[in-house]
Amino acid sequence: MSQYRYTSVNHPESFDFHDSVFRLGRVGDTEIAVCVQALNISKAAEQNPYECDMEIQTAHIVFRGVSEFVYDPGRVWERDAEGNFAPVGPKILFRGKEAYSRFEDDLSEGAMIICHSIVEADHFEIDGTGKEPYFFVSFKAEEVVIEWDDYRGPAWYEKRDR
């Protein structure tokens, strides 16, 4: 039995992660728990009793059975003589435990999520800013549990009465 009023299991597609902030809760060998601010839920989600997408006050997300981590810390970009931007240096990818550790470091200081994608039902991709000015991480998770108690109000992108 959950201690929270609302629970969503394996339905991350019902949420909009853009501009949400993930802070590390706890980690284990195959689990990451985060506390999330500015997470939005679709009006179509079973747990949303409102007629518009809503921002959740504070959510708690647990990714269980995590594996296949890949972490890209991004690169510096510079403008060339023609005014075109190009990355500097070789692309560096971290895999496995090193990737997991680097993602954990970003979460420990708070990471703003720019984009979150679900590639397959259990494969996630996240672009964000944290300890690294930009990072990309992908991983698999067997289960995603999102829990919360209260709504803050309409999502930032919903039309508001003025």
Site of tokens 């995590």: 66
Residue 39's closest CA among 161, 150, 159? 150
- pLDDT of 89 reads 87
Cβ neighbours around 8 below 10 Å, total: 20
- pLDDT of 162 reads 44
Phi, psi of 100, deg, nearest 5: -60, -45
What is the residue-averaged pLDDT of the chain? Answer: 92
| Domain spans, the chain | 6-154
Q: Which amino acid does the sequence have at 19?
A: D
Contact (CB, 8 A) for 101 and 107: no
**3-class secondary structure, 13:** helix
Largest CA distance in the chain: 61
Please state the pTM of the whole predicted model: 0.88
